[in-house]
């Protein structure tokens, strides 16, 4: 019996190019024009996409470039629970904007009504008077809470150290702005002061956040080939 002498890169070991990206997450849509953070609430459309509660959006074109970045459309600010019950068991949360959406958490109140009537936790729009009315006499002290729905920085990209030159965010939907966006500003910026510029990557290589595997690359004696010096065993 002869012995086989092979020098090979095992078949399961393949070479691939380094990605060169630090992936920070995904956004549903991207806005390349100014978005007013004080009034950006539901209902909202970004680049032809109807946004929903807890969607993420990448802002790249704000008038104040320091406001650019990855945002989540979620609850914001303090709980709004002021108001009193009338004789019929209504509680009015007053002083609300009729242009903004609010998030209602039921607690132990019986139901809620506004422009949209709900019976549990969910999104509410104030009625034309700027009030949200909780209907029915609660079983005890009302622990329901109401908070604004606004854009706030996504927790994966909301501190200076997370902004490093070259990081990318993948935008999944949109008429014009879907694709891969790369942060081209300075590393460790001062949030709220330093401009945060983003550029859409357009090459075939750039649009893949993780480039596909390269074809296998081997340096070996083909499997089964015998060393020319191989001789039968005694």
Residues above pLDDT 90, as percent of the chain = 43
Q: pLDDT per residue over 16-67, tens digit each? A: 333 456 888 899 999 999 999 999 999 899 999 999 999 999 999 999 999 9
Helix (H, G, I), strand (E, B) or coil at 223: coil
Measure CA of the first residue to CA of the last residue in the chain; give whole Å: 9
Residue 210 pLDDT greater than 80, yes or no: no
Structure-model confidence comparison of residues 65 and 3, the more confident one: 65
- Residues facing 158 on adjacent strands: none
CB–CB of 89/135 below 8 Å? yes
- pLDDT exceeds 50 at position 5: no
What is the SS3 assignment for 124?
strand
pLDDT at residue 123 greater than cutoff 80: yes
* Strand 56-59 versus strand 179-183 pairing type: unpaired
CA distances from 68 to 47, 49, 64, 98 (A): 16, 19, 8, 27
Report the b/e string of 19-41 with b at 16+ CB within 10 A: eebeebeebbbbbbeebebeebb
Domain boundaries, the chain: 22-75+152-200, 82-143
Residue 74 has pLDDT above 80, yes or no: yes
- What mean pLDDT do residues 87-91 have? 60
- Cα–Cα distance measured from residue 170 to residue 212, given in angstroms and rounded to the nearest whole number: 16
Q: Smallest Cα–Cα separation from 53: which of 27, 72, 78, 79? A: 72
Angstrom distance (rounded) from CA 18 to CA 126: 52
Distances in whole angstroms, Cα of residue 22 to Cα of each of 25, 167, 169:
9, 5, 9
Q: Provide mean pLDDT across the span 202-222.
A: 48
Average pLDDT score, the chain = 75
Would you give the DSSP letter of residue 214? P
* CA gap 206, 167 in Å, rounded: 12
* pLDDT one-digit tens code per residue, 95-116: 788 888 888 776 655 555 554 5
* 183 neighbors 163 (Cβ within 8 angstroms): yes
Confidence of residue 144 (pLDDT cuts 50, 70, 90): low
């Amino acid at each position: 019996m002869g012995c086989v002498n092979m020098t090979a890169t095992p078949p399961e070991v393949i070479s691939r190019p380094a990605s060169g990206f630090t992936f920070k997450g995904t956004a549903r849509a991207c806005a390349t024009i100014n978005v007013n953070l004080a009034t950006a609430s539901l209902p909202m459309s970004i680049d032809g996409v109807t946004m929903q509660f807890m969607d993420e959006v990448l802002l790249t074109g704000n008038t104040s470039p320091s406001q650019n970045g990855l945002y989540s459309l979620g609850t914001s600010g303090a709980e709004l629970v002021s108001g009193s019950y009338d004789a019929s068991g209504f509680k009015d949360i007053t002083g609300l904007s009729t242009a903004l959406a609010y998030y209602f958490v039921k607690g132990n109140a019986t139901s809620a009504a506004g422009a949209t009537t709900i019976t549990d936790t969910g999104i509410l729009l104030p009625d034309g008077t700027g009030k949200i009315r909780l209907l029915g006499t609660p079983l005890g002290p009302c622990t329901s809470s109401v908070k604004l729905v606004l854009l706030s920085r996504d927790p994966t990209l909301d501190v200076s150290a997370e902004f490093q030159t070259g990081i990318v965010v993948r935008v999944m939907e949109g008429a014009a702005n879907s694709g891969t966006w790369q942060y081209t500003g300075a590393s460790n910026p001062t949030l709220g002061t330093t401009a945060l510029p983003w550029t859409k990557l357009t090459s075939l290589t750039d649009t893949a956040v993780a480039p596909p595997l390269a074809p296998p690359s081997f340096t070996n004696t083909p499997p089964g080939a015998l060393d020319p010096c191989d001789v039968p065993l005694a």
